[in-house]
Chain A
Amino acid sequence: MHIAEGFLPITDCVVWYALSAPFVVHGARQVIKQSKEDPESRLLLAAAGAFTFVLSSIKLPSVTGSSSHPTGTGLGAVLFRPPVMAFLSTIVLIFQALLLAHGGITTLGANVFSMGIAGPWVGYTCWRLSSRLGWNQNVGVFSALAFADLSTYVVTSVQLGIAFPDPVSGLLGSVAKFMSIFAISQIPLAIAEGILGVLVFRLLTDVARPELERLGVIKTAEHAKTGA
Chain B
Amino acid sequence: MAHGLAMDQAAWTSPWRTRSVRDKAVLTLGLLLAAVTLPPVPGGVAVASVSLALLLGPIRVGLTRLWRISWLPLLSILIGVATVAVSPTWDAGPGLEVTPAGSAMAAALAVRAVAATLAMFTLACSTPIVDLFAALRRAHVPDPLIEIGSLIYRFTVGLLESAAAIHDAQVARLGYATRSAAMRSASMGVAVLFVRSWDRARRLEAGLSGRGYDDRLCTLEPDRVRSGRFLAGSIALLAVLTGTSVAWAVLR
A residues near B, CB below 8 A? Answer: 4-10, 13, 28, 31-32, 35-36, 39-40, 42-51, 53-55, 57-58, 60-61, 87-88, 91-92, 95, 97-102, 104-106, 160, 164, 166-169, 173, 176-178, 181, 192, 195-196, 199-200, 203-204, 207-208, 211
Contacts and interface: CB of A to CB of B under 8 A. Distances in A.
Across the A-B interface, give the 10 residue pairs with the lowest CB-CB distance, nearest first: A6-B116, A46-B151, A50-B155, A167-B101, A47-B201, A49-B152, A168-B87, A43-B201, A100-B4, A6-B113
B37 A46 contact: no
Q: Is the interface of B mostly helix, strand, loop or mixed?
A: helix
Interface stretch (B14-22, B55-63, B117-125, B228-236): B117-125
B7 A44 contact: no
Nearest to A97: B120
B3 interface: yes
Q: Is the interface of A mostly helix, strand, loop or mixed?
A: helix
Interface of B: 1, 3-4, 7-8, 29, 32-33, 35-37, 69-70, 72-73, 76-77, 80, 83-84, 86-89, 97, 99, 101-102, 105, 109, 112-117, 119-121, 123-124, 129, 132, 142, 144-145, 147-149, 151-156, 159-160, 163, 167, 176, 179, 182-183, 186-191, 193-195, 197-198, 200-202, 204-205, 214-215
Contacts of A173: 87-88
B204 A100 contact: no
A159 to B, nearest CB: 12
Contacts of B154: 46
A54 B159 contact: yes
B145 A28 contact: yes
Contact of B193 (A51, A88, A167): A51
